Amino acid sequence: MQVAETNTAVREETARVFFAIWPDAAAQRRLAELAERLETVCDGRKVRAENIHLTLVFLGEVSVDRLDALCQAANEVQGAGVRAFDFAVEEIRYWKHNRIAYAGTVKVSQELLDLVSALQSALSAAGFSFDRQAYVPHITLARKAKCPAPSIEFRTGLPELAQPVVWPVREWVLVKSGQANGRSGYTPIGRWPLV
Ligand code: ATP
Ligand code: MG
């Protein structure tokens, strides 16, 4: 938790939070292997296996007094017709501007878009603000990466997947981001099932 200074000099306790989906154990293993390879190929810093995730909506600093209201808003989404789906990672990609190597999906499933959109609507209705940029699903695998030039081994400069990494998405979570035991990490503070 952080203590934020407001312009009225009132100190407010906040938490850095976001909604996300975590891979199941088998997908986590494969994504962690890819992160390991990217650390070598791109000379980057891999994301640790337990931290690999897909962000749905990032809120940033929220007053701890508002976390119950945030969970209430998320409860509303359950009645909005969201459904379970399979998430498929088909490609490893690279953003030069922030030097992030990530796992991406070629065909974004409608169920994922519906979930994000229902969540955004519920959060807006409850008075929460968040980044409204078009949603681009991505799973960060390595930071401070330098994507190498294409080679015989890597046609795009990045490892290619022989098989997509697919997992059944059966829940989404609210996560607090921050330091724990001296390492940056995430702590789930709410869970919602998808059926
Ligand atoms: P760190 O910033 O400590 O290196 P991190 O980026 O994983 O680690 P956060 O910055 O708390 O931790 O971000 C949590 C999640 O939200 C990550 O998936 C991150 O990509 C995403 N995120 C962070 N900032 C934004 C933003 N402004 N808009 C959209 N997503 C964001
Ligand atoms: Mg960050």
Report CA(60)–ligand 2 centroid distance (Å).
10
pLDDT (0 to 100) of residue 131: 85
pLDDT per residue, tens digit, the chain (195 aa), is 666 555 555 778 999 999 999 999 999 999 999 999 999 999 999 999 999 999 999 999 999 999 999 999 999 998 888 999 999 999 999 999 999 999 999 999 999 999 999 999 999 999 999 988 999 999 999 999 998 778 777 777 788 898 999 999 999 999 999 987 777 799 999 999 999
Pocket test for ligand 1, best of 55, 102, 136 (most atoms within 8 A of CB): 55
Task: Answer whether 58 contacts ligand 1 (Cβ < 6 A).
Answer: yes
- pTM higher than the cut 0.85: yes
> What are all long-range contacts of 45-50, with beta carbons under 8 Å and residues at least 24 apart?
45/142, 45/143, 45/144, 45/145, 46/141, 46/142, 47/140, 47/141, 47/142, 47/143, 50/185
57: which strand partners?
A: 19
Task: Answer whether 65 contacts ligand 1 (Cβ < 6 A).
Answer: no
Task: Answer whether 28 contacts ligand 1 (Cβ < 6 A).
Answer: no
